[in-house]
Structure 1
Amino acid sequence: MDTLFVRELKVETRIGIYDWERQVKQTILIDLDVAADAAFAARGDKVESTVNYQTICQRLVAHVQDAEVELVETLAEQMAAIILGEFRAPWVRVTVHKPAAVRGTRDVGVQIERGARPA
């Protein structure tokens, strides 16, 4: 199975466990790896034959901008469910980065994998 990917999709949202975090929008970055059959898509050379990463990105941006969750884990689970359910991907890896959330670090976050990665 092949993998379509998106790196550093930038979204502004309200996320965090502290009151001060919930007062301002923060930047998160999203990385996606989505199982897809690239050979099948290439044979037809039509976007309808593949998982459309532009459509996925638009859907996730809309969701994340309105989500207002406390945990990056919650956000990652929600995005994985959207990709598996709405886009019928068999497997997805979602990484949510919350840059500079912890003093002295460049980046913190979570990475999850959901679904079954086809052979």
Structure 2
Amino acid sequence: MDKVFVQGLEVLTTIGVYEWEKGIRQKIRFDLEMGYDNRPAAAGDDISKALDYAALSHKVTAYAEQNHVELVETMAEHIARLILTEFPVQSVKVRLTKPAAVPNAAGVGVEIERFATRNLRD
């Protein structure tokens, strides 16, 4: 399966379980990988048949900025569902990193992979 990816998409949002976190915006980083058939776009050198990763990045950014959750696990699930619902992808892998969560660590987070339930050939 072909993959389209967005690496290092940084967003400022309110995320965290502690009271002090609920009053601030923190940076989170998304690494996104989508299963998408690139052959039609490549065959005709046709951007209209390619996955629009700029639009996808914009939607993910807007969602994360506007929707506040406590857990990185929750945000990752919401982003995966958003991508599978709004874009014609077969799968999505979401790696969400919270860079400043643990002292002496470059970041902590989660990685999930979800699959489309619809038949994309219809």
| Partner residue in 1 for 2:102 | 102
Question: SS at 2:4's partner residue?
Answer: strand
Moved over 4 A (4+): none
Give the C-alpha shift of residue 104 in structure 1: 2.0
Question: Quick one: distance in 1 between partners of 2:88 and 2:42?
Answer: 19
Distance in 2 separating the partners of 1:111 and 1:47: 29
Secondary structure of residue in 2 paired with 1:33: strand
Q: Specify the code of the residue in structure 2 equivalent to 1:8.
A: G
SS in structure 1 at match of 2:63 = helix
Tell me which residue corresponds to 2:73: 73
Matched residues, number: 116
Gaps of 5+ in 2: 117-122
Q: Does 1:31 align with 2:31?
A: yes
1:64-96 per-residue CA deviation (whole Å, 9 max, x = no partner) reads 001110011111101100111110211000000
RMSD: 1.0
Q: Which residue of the partner structure matches residue 13 of structure 1?
A: 13
Structure 1 Cα separation of the partners of residues 99 and 12 of structure 2: 12
TM-score by length of 1: 0.93
1:41 CA drift (Å)? 1.1
Counterpart of 2:119 in structure 1 is: none
Partner of 1:56: 56
In the TM superposition, residue 27 of structure 1 has moved relative to its aligned partner by: 0.3
Report the secondary structure of 2:70's partner residue. coil
Three-state SS of the structure 2 residue aligned to 1:97 is strand
TM-score (norm 2): 0.91
User: Could you tell me which amino acid in structure 1 is paired with residue 59 of structure 2?
Assistant: R
Residue ranges of structure 1 left out of the alignment (5+ in a row): none
Deviations 1:44-79 (CA, angstroms, capped at 9, x unpaired): 222220211000000010000011100111111011
Render the CA deviation track for 1:6-58: whole Å, top value 9, x for unaligned. 11001000000001011110000000000111221111222220211000000
